[in-house]
Structure 1
Amino acid sequence: MTDPTAELPAMIDWGLAVALGSRIAGEGPVVSPTEAADAVAELRAGADRSTGLVRDFTGLDAPEGTAPILVVDRPGWVQANAEGFAVATRPMVEKILEAKKPSGIGMRVGSKITGAEVGGLLGFLASKVLGQFDPFHEPHGRLLLVAPNIVHVERELHVDPHDFRLWVCLHEETHRVQFTAVPWMREHLFSEIQAIADSVEPTTLLEGGVERIVEAIKEGRRGGSIIDMFSTPEQRQVIDRVTGMMSLLEGHADVVMDDVGPTVIPSVAEIRKKFTKRRQGVGTLDRILRRLLGLEAKLAQYRDGALFVRAVVDKVGMEEFNAVWAGPENLPSKAELSDPEGWVRRVLG
């Protein structure tokens, strides 16, 4: 793969991460070549169809020819996210290297360890994710739809596959539209990542790493996450801002998929009921991993963001709600997610 941080010393063995992550993820459900081809074609068509549906409902108009739509398998998702992870971690890597450049052998050994850790994380997530907008891909991002996972879930839930595929496409295409119709969104996300890196003391990352990870696992069993363990007060301020933004994006997409759904997806109510139950995790290990990786917080983002969007739209309408996209200053804070009236007063007067 092409390493976006190739000019930097390799603190993470990305090749190992991709290989291990792909092996852990597996191939997914058994399908015939015809079934696989049909699923890929239907997902591409569903994403294309969703563009107009999202535009008509939200009023957001994404320029054509930006942010390609890719239907991928699990290893393809691992590869894409390793590339994105390399871009996202670059500011942190640069700061660490400014403080202390590890020795050659130390770097090689360390990169294998971190490569294995990242590979394990990607391998676990690769079997869970149905779709994702990747904002780190140049120049405008890209949309990834993970075909084997979508087929697996539609079978597991015993729902109409054609309806379920379009339902997933509606949600994920909304994210593609959000980032391409709102041109400042990507750069704002990148600036927040840089702000987190700027607030980090490199010695904090270089010392006590193993002990802190063990403690994070203990916290994961009690409901905490690795993110909680490694965030300073300054970083938490940035994380709260990012939480507000991501909750808005996730909730907005959920509102689109559920409100547009009934007009084009006959079984949308059944799909939503079954899928919401599935989002909670199915087993003890799955629940622990979700907490440890911060995925429990992501479930809250869907819920809180959707409640915020619905409350504002019900009060002022979609056109007035779209002031949220005017600039970073109009994004809801984490506190405003539970106080939509406060956001309306602040932004709309």
Structure 2
Amino acid sequence: MTGPATELPQMIDWDLAVSLGSRLAGEGPVVTRTEAADAVAELRAGANRSTGLVREFTGLDAPDGTAPILVVDRPGWVQANAEAFALATGPMVEKIVSAKPPSGLGQRFGAKVTGAEVGGLLGFLAGKVLGQFDPFYEPYGRLLLVAPNIVHVERELGVDPHDFRLWVCLHEETHRVQFTAVPWMREHLFSEIRAISETVEPASLLEGGVERISEAIRAGRNGGSIVEMFSTPEQRAVIDRVTGMMSLLEGHADVVMDDVGPTVIPSVGAIRKKFTRRRQGVGGLDRILRRLLGLDAKMAQYRDGAKFVRAVVDRVGMEEFNAVWAGPQNLPSKAELSDPEGWVERVLA
């Protein structure tokens, strides 16, 4: 594959990352060709149906014909996320390379090592993710639904597959609507990523890597993550802003999927109860990896964001809540997620 800055020396072997990640991800549950085709068709139809349901409930109107909807397998998800990761890390790679250009055998060896590390991460996540909105895909992003994972989870939970597929589509389509109905959102996310890159000190990033990872593993027992261990105070300030933004987006999507659900998904209550238990992780290794990769923090985003959205909507109604989409200055801070009244006073007073 090609990254966003092919003129620069390659610090990550993306082809290796995709190849390794795809192998580690596996193929998913055993299905017949007919079952696979039916699942793909139902997910695509469910996402298209969800657009109108999200619009009616939230008041957000996404233009037609913008971000495409793709139903993918695990290798397809790995490929798409490698492309997104390459774009997201492009500014940081450029800064590091400009400070200390890699060359020769060392550069090629380093690219293989980092490619293997990224591939391992993508391979682990590829078996977990049900769907996501990829904002890095030009020009407006794209929605990915991972069919084998959705089928796997609906079987594991023992829920009605038709209800579960539409329920997942409601959540993921809400993200597509958020980014396409709110045109500044995508560029704002990119600007925050650039802000993190601008604070990178190449020397400090490249020094002490093994020791810091070991420290992260030890801290993982108490909720630490590799992301936290490799961030400066300046970067953590940006990460806190992004956390507020992403918690809003995730919580908003959870509220939509659960509140719209009862009108079109008869078994939504049972699905939510079983799925919430599943989000905790199943085994010891799985939980450790979630902590190290910061996935526990993502679970908190769903919970905290949904509480914020519900509290504000209950207080002022959906129309007034939608002031949150007026501009970046109206996004809740990380602190305001647990203080919705503070957000109402700041934004709506």
Q: Does 1:100 align with 2:100?
A: yes
| Cα shift at 1:292 | 0.4
Aligned counterparts of 2:194 and 2:104: Cα–Cα separation in 1 = 27
Unmatched tracts of structure 2, length 5 or more: none
Match of 1:137, SS state, is: coil
Q: Contact conserved, 2:9 with 2:103, CA < 8 A, in 1?
A: no
Question: What one-letter code is carried by the residue in structure 2 that aligns with 1:284?
Answer: G
Q: Contact conserved, 2:9 with 2:102, CA < 8 A, in 1?
A: no
Where does residue 29 of structure 1 map in the other structure? Answer: 29
| Cα shift at 1:264 | 0.0
Q: Does 1:170 align with 2:167?
A: no
RMSD: 0.7
Aligned counterparts of 1:9 and 1:62: Cα–Cα separation in 2 = 39
Question: What one-letter code is carried by the residue in structure 2 that aligns with 1:130?
Answer: L
Structural mapping, 1:96-175, within 5 Å:
96-175=96-175
Where does residue 300 of structure 1 map in the other structure? Answer: 300
| Cα shift at 1:9 | 1.1
Aligned counterparts of 1:333 and 1:3: Cα–Cα separation in 2 = 32
| Cα shift at 1:41 | 0.1
TM norm structure 1: 0.99
| Cα shift at 1:336 | 0.3
Aligned counterparts of 2:104 and 2:134: Cα–Cα separation in 1 = 32
Match of 1:143, SS state, is: strand
Where does residue 9 of structure 1 map in the other structure? Answer: 9
Match of 2:289, SS state, is: helix
| Cα shift at 1:214 | 2.1
Where does residue 68 of structure 2 map in the other structure? Answer: 68
Once the two structures are superposed, residues 57-91 of structure 1 have per-residue CA deviations (whole angstroms, 9 ceiling, x without a partner) of: 00000000000000000000000000000001011
| Cα shift at 1:210 | 2.0
Question: What one-letter code is carried by the residue in structure 1 that aligns with 2:311?
Answer: A
| Cα shift at 1:6 | 1.5
Match of 2:27, SS state, is: coil
Structural mapping, 1:261-276, within 5 Å:
261-276=261-276
Aligned counterparts of 2:121 and 2:235: Cα–Cα separation in 1 = 22
Where does residue 347 of structure 2 map in the other structure? Answer: 347
| Cα shift at 1:217 | 1.8
Instruction: Provide the identity percentage.
Output: 85
Structural mapping, 1:113-262, within 5 Å:
113-262=113-262
Q: Contact conserved, 2:72 with 2:144, CA < 8 A, in 1?
A: yes
Aligned counterparts of 1:11 and 1:336: Cα–Cα separation in 2 = 38
The range that moved more, 81-90 or 102-111, is 102-111
Aligned counterparts of 1:3 and 1:121: Cα–Cα separation in 2 = 18
Aligned counterparts of 2:91 and 2:99: Cα–Cα separation in 1 = 13
Question: What one-letter code is carried by the residue in structure 2 that aligns with 1:306?
Answer: A
Aligned counterparts of 1:232 and 1:333: Cα–Cα separation in 2 = 19
| Cα shift at 1:4 | 2.3
Aligned counterparts of 2:326 and 2:233: Cα–Cα separation in 1 = 28
Q: Contact conserved, 2:167 with 2:261, CA < 8 A, in 1?
A: yes
Question: What one-letter code is carried by the residue in structure 1 that aligns with 2:249?
Answer: L
The range that moved more, 256-265 or 226-235, is 226-235
The range that moved more, 222-231 or 275-284, is 222-231
Aligned pair count reads 349
Question: What one-letter code is carried by the residue in structure 1 that aligns with 2:198?
Answer: D
Match of 2:64, SS state, is: coil
Once the two structures are superposed, residues 138-192 of structure 1 have per-residue CA deviations (whole angstroms, 9 ceiling, x without a partner) of: 0000000000000000000000000000000000000000000000001000000
Question: What one-letter code is carried by the residue in structure 2 that aligns with 1:45?
Answer: A
Question: What one-letter code is carried by the residue in structure 2 that aligns with 1:325?
Answer: W
TM norm structure 2: 0.99
Structural mapping, 1:81-92, within 5 Å:
81-92=81-92
Unmatched tracts of structure 1, length 5 or more: none
Aligned counterparts of 2:59 and 2:7: Cα–Cα separation in 1 = 42
Match of 1:345, SS state, is: helix
| Cα shift at 1:2 | 3.2
Question: What one-letter code is carried by the residue in structure 1 that aligns with 2:111?
Answer: S
